Chain A
Amino acid sequence: MSTVDQFESVFKAAAKTHYVHEKHPLGKVLLVTDMDSAEAALYLQTVKTFLENVLPESETDWLLVSQNDFENVKDLLDKVEEHRPDLVITYRNLKSDAWRWPYSLGEHLDVLTQVTSTPVLVLPHPDREDSTDFLARPPETVMAVSGHLCGEGKLVGYSAAFTPSGGKLILSHVEDEATHDRYLAAIEKIPEIDSEVARETILSRLLKDAKDFSESAQTVLGEADLGIEVECHAKVGRRLEDYRKLIEEDHVDLLVMHAKEDDQMAMHGMAHPLAVELRSVPLLLL
């Protein structure tokens, strides 16, 4: 006879997480730069143009923090606390030339992304030779990145908010192949668990949850009449490598991901390596 566990599994699978669309406020934006005032003002115009489709001038209150407004991390945090923006826009390695090497985000950004609850949009460093190219064209294709997309309503909501009408939103979910293989190897050593069933079902279940949530988001965002195209990519692979491929293949203009984790101080799972290594793509860190 079927057991409690078998039926419970069916009902747990039936209890799907649906996407509920919430509009996130983006009316007050703080641009943080380490440039002097004149350069910062010019940079502000570039950023405004870059984001004009999603942050229209008429609806957005722009604030600027430049070189002389902060000396250290504490000063910067105080400025953010003082202005209480809905969004912080900056770039990596403030007040440092370490942006040339793909090993860190810099002390300011490391702390800022963890301490404040405000989303941080990280743009390619302005001193890069190709920086102006990146900011010349407003983002059209936005990709939400998650290792467990199911239930990530906030991630989808912000990603949708940064996708302009007529643009494309890609909801991507990459299951880490190495972790999956490690669990399967452990299962193969447990006589009580059928290895064949585990091999056939675990991965498809993980991907199905992500696909179901994406489909729900697709429906809800369609009903919200935002004029955006929503696509879902759920696959197994080597996370960083596969995200890189997805970004290249789909010509992604903006990457959105979670940076915070409830039970740790450091940056969220895959967010850190992605944020550090993908230096030519604007990143929205939630």
Chain B
Amino acid sequence: MTIFSPILASTAGHAVAPNVTYLFLGLLACMILCLALEEKIHAKKSVIVGIFSILALFLGAWFHLLPFGDVGSLVIGGHKISMPVYIPGVDWEVIAIILGSSLFVDVTSKSGLFTWVAVKLTKLSKGDPLRLLILYGVMTVVFSAVLNNVTAMIIVGSLTGVSLKKLDRSEKLLGFLLIEGLLTNIGGLLTLISSVPNIIVGKTAGIEFVDFFIKAAPYVVIATVITLWLGSKLFKISSLKSDEERASAKALVAGFDENEGIESPGFFRFGAIMTFVFIGTVAMTSQLPVINELGLGFVALAFAGIMLIRYKAVADRFYKAIDWDLLFFFVCLFAVINVMEHAQVLALIGEWLKPILALGDKTGPACLLVASAAASSVTDNIPLAAMLAKILGGMPDIAANPDSPYWWAVIFGSNLGGNITPIGSASTLVSVTIIHKYGLKLSFAGFVKIALPYALIQLALGVGYLILVS
């Protein structure tokens, strides 16, 4: 995973008393439960996982599980480096990708590029509800794939609220927002950097950006079409019937000015070019000399840095806008998982997974996909992806094969599980937040009731696709 992982892995084989392993397993279960109840206990993810990382590190040190000796005398490039025991366990590449890409997206959004695209598509729909649903759906998927699914939901969701109000079709808002929320997790499957589970699992498995895209794209296209078709039927979103209605809707959307969000045409063009170059560079990272050694994290941070030149005097405004809760959550989560590895908890869960893996290359991944989706639906999909990536990475047959269907089972399961409940993924949570912002009532059970048919179809499709391509 990181350059430090082999060192840590060598200490993971220490004998650990079973009761100590179960104690840490209990701690892990409590953390996952608290994450599932995040809204109820009114605590941010970073605080929950932060508290558990403090406990895990303290108990890890108490039971002499942590490799103080190794991290105290690391030799890198001939230099002896000493660092705290909780630092090497963090996958800094993942942190760099998330930090860099979110900063890049945030600064680029100031160019007005994403709002320009969104408004152009709104005008292209001519105000026809069905055409609007299709265009917004495709936009959600593409934005989720290129940016990330939370930003995609924020952009498309906020535009949906404004445009449906302008078109006097607020009664369709719930349907639109829900379908868009579900599509963020479909779009989140399209590229290696679309969602955090993809980044974590893809990095651990060594899946290249282009390979990831080629394998995920057919499923994403089919699942998007089916979700939009089902959504239009269940929410009764149809085309306008009369010429008068069409003319009126066209006039209303014509009032949108796509250039409103563009402060500087020069920066707009620069933002557009940089977005394409960023995607191209991310896709080609493994092939580009020098860049391939520096990795995706460097690419993301470098592009964010270049974009920040435009706002060099007020760069601190963008630093303030960074989702520090998410970043601290990751750092602490990696620390917890590292302790769990030393406490043999991951090995224990790996043992429990063996019956699933023994089901063969077709049934095994299918069962793992469904199990991952079920687990992701009730708690955060990131700890699950991080944990399973670590467990699968410890299995030599799977670790050596980036094309193993087990990696894809975790990727599909952790992404699609987010569509079963509103707490299953950050982007569906954003969609519910926007729904509530517009005064629409949607309870947890109400969401599950509406979203379940979509989620079941998407999961069945995922299982079928995995069996077909594995």
Q: Are A14 and B256 in contact (CB under 8 A)?
A: yes
Which stretch from B202-210, B232-240, B430-438 is at the chain A interface? Answer: B430-438
A1-34 CB mask vs B (1 if < 8 Å, else 0) is: 1111101101111111110100000000000000
- State which residues 225-255 of B face A: CB under 8 Å: 251, 254-255
CB-defined contacts of B433 to chain A, threshold 8 Å: 4
Complex: A8 Cα to B159 Cα, angstroms: 6
B316 at the A/B interface (Cβ < 8 Å)? no
Q: Which of B256, B322, B430, B437 contacts A15 (CB under 8 A)?
A: B256
Residues of A within 8 A of B151 (CB): 1-2
Given A11-B158, A13-B260, A4 and B255 contact (CB-CB distance below 8 Å): no
Partner of A3, one of B154, B161, B255: B154
- Chain B residues closer than 8 Å to A14, beta-carbon distance: 115, 119, 162, 256-258, 260-261
Q: Does B193 contact A (CB under 8 A)?
A: no
Q: Is B321 in contact with A11, judged by CB distance below 8 angstroms? A: no
Q: Which of B97-126 contact A (CB under 8 A)?
A: 102, 105-106, 109, 112, 115, 118-119
Q: Is B419 an interface position by the 8 A CB rule?
A: no
Q: Which residues of A contact B106 (CB under 8 A)?
A: 1-2
Chain B residues in 8 Å Cβ range of A3: 154
Within 8 Å CB of B258, what residues of A? 14
Q: Is B163 an interface residue (CB 8 A)?
A: yes
Most buried by A among B119, B162, B163, B166: B162
Q: Are A4 and B159 in contact (CB under 8 A)?
A: no
Cβ contact within 8 Å between A7 and B154: yes
* Among B158, B256, B260, B321, contact of A7 (Cβ-Cβ < 8 Å): B158
A7, B159: Cβ atoms closer than 8 Å: yes
B155 contacts the other chain (CB 8 A) = yes
Q: Is the Cβ of B161 less than 8 Å from the Cβ of A1?
A: no
Q: Which of A2, A16, A18 contacts B260 (CB 8 A)?
A: A16
- Decide yes or no: A18 and B255 within 8 Å by CB, A1-B102, A11-B163 being known contacts: yes
A17 and B260 CA atoms in complex are apart in Å by 13
Complex CA gap A147/B318 in Å reads 36
Q: How far is the CA of A12 from the CA of B122 in the complex (A)?
A: 13
Q: Which of B150, B162, B255, B437 contacts A1 (CB 8 A)?
A: B150
B321 near A10: Cβ-Cβ < 8 Å: no
Find out whether the CB atom of A10 lies under 8 angstroms from the CB atom of B257.
no
Complex Cα spacing A23 to B430, Å: 46
With A11-B158, A16-B256 already in contact, the answer to whether A2 and B109 are too (CB < 8 A) is: yes
Interface string of B159-171 (1 = CB under 8 A from A): 1011100100000
- Measured CA separation A7–B114 after assembly (Å): 10
Contact of B437 among A4, A12, A16, A20 (CB under 8 A): A4
Which of A4, A17, A212 meets B158, CB within 8 Å? A4
| Main DSSP-derived SS at the A contact region | helix
> Smallest CB-CB separation from B162: which chain A residue?
A11
A75-108 interface code vs B (CB 8 A; 1 in, 0 out): 0000000000000000000000000000000000
CA distance A13 to B259 in the complex (A): 10
Contacts A4-B434, A17-B255 given; does A11 touch B115 at CB 8 Å:
yes
Which residues of B are found within 8 Å of A4, using beta-carbon distances? 154, 157-158, 430, 433-434, 437
Bound Cα distance from A20 to B322, whole angstroms: 43
Per-position 1/0 for B292-323, Cβ under 8 A of A: 00000000000000000000000000000111
- Give the complex CA separation of A12 and B434 in angstroms: 15
Q: Which residues of B contact A16 (CB under 8 A)?
A: 255-257, 260
Shortest CB distance A80–B (Å): 34
Provide the bound-state CA to CA distance between A15 and B254, in Å.
9
Cross-interface CB contact of B162 among A15, A17, A18, A212, cutoff 8 Å: A15
Q: Is the CB of B322 within 8 A of A1?
A: yes
B166 touches A10 (CB 8 A): no
A141 to chain B, nearest CB (A): 30
Which chain B residues border A12 with CB–CB below 8 Å? 162
Closest chain B CB from A18 CB (angstroms): 5
- Docked CA distance A8–B322 (Å): 19
Given A10-B260, A15-B166, the answer on whether A1 and B323 have CB atoms closer than 8 Å is yes
Q: How far is the CB of A250 from chain B (nearest CB, A)?
A: 29
B102: A residues at CB distance < 8 A:
1
CB-defined interface of B249-281 with A at 8 Å, one 1/0 digit per residue?
A: 001001111101100000000000000000000
| Chain B CB within 10 A, most for which of A3, A10, A13 | A10
B162 contact set on A, CB distance < 8 A: 8, 11-12, 14-15
Q: Is the CB of B155 within 8 A of A15?
A: no
Q: Which chain B positions have C-beta within 8 A of A11? A: 115, 118-119, 158-159, 162-163
Complex interface: chain B residues within 8 A of A7 (CB):
109, 115, 154-155, 158-159
Q: Using CB atoms, name the residue of chain A closest to B150.
A: A1
Nearest-neighbor residue (CB-CB) of A8 within chain B: B158
Q: Which residues of B contact A1 (CB under 8 A)?
A: 102, 105-106, 150-151, 154, 321-323
Task: State A202–B265 Cα separation when bound (angstroms).
Answer: 23
- Distance between B120 CB and nearest chain A CB, rounded to angstroms: 11
Beyond A4-B430, A7-B159, is A13–B321 a contact (Cβ under 8 Å)? no
Q: Given A2-B109, A2-B321, A4-B433, is A18 in contact with B254 using a C-beta cutoff of 8 Å?
A: yes
Residues of A within 8 A of B115 (CB): 7, 10-11, 14
Residues from chain B with a CB closer than 8 A to the CB of A212 are 257
Is the Cβ of B261 less than 8 Å from the Cβ of A13?
A: yes
**A4, A7, A8, A212, most chain B CB atoms within 10 A:** A7
Nearest CB in chain A to that of B323: its residue: A1
Point out the residues of chain A lying under 8 angstroms from B155, CB to CB: 7
Chain A residues contacting B251 (CB-CB under 8 Å) are 20
Chain B: which residue is nearest A212 at the CB level?
B257
State A1–B158 Cα separation when bound (angstroms): 14
Which residues in A have their C-beta under 8 angstroms from that of B157? Answer: 4
Q: In the complex, how many angstroms separate the beta carbon of A16 from the nearest chain B beta carbon?
A: 5
Return chain A residues, CB-CB under 8 Å to B158.
Answer: 4-5, 7-8, 11
Residue of A nearest to B159 (CB): A11
Binding site for A on B (CB under 8 A): 102, 105-106, 109, 112, 115, 118-119, 150-151, 154-155, 157-159, 161-163, 166, 251, 254-258, 260-261, 321-323, 430, 433-434, 437
List 11 A-B residue pairs with CB atoms under 8 Å apart, sorted by A's residue number. A1-B102, A1-B323, A4-B158, A7-B159, A8-B158, A8-B162, A11-B163, A16-B255, A17-B255, A18-B255, A20-B251
| Given A1-B154, A14-B258, 11 additional A-B pairs, CB 8 A | A1-B322, A2-B109, A2-B151, A4-B430, A7-B154, A7-B155, A7-B159, A11-B159, A13-B260, A14-B256, A15-B255
Q: Which 9 A-B pairs have the closest CB atoms?
A: A14-B260, A8-B158, A7-B158, A11-B162, A10-B261, A11-B159, A18-B255, A10-B115, A13-B260
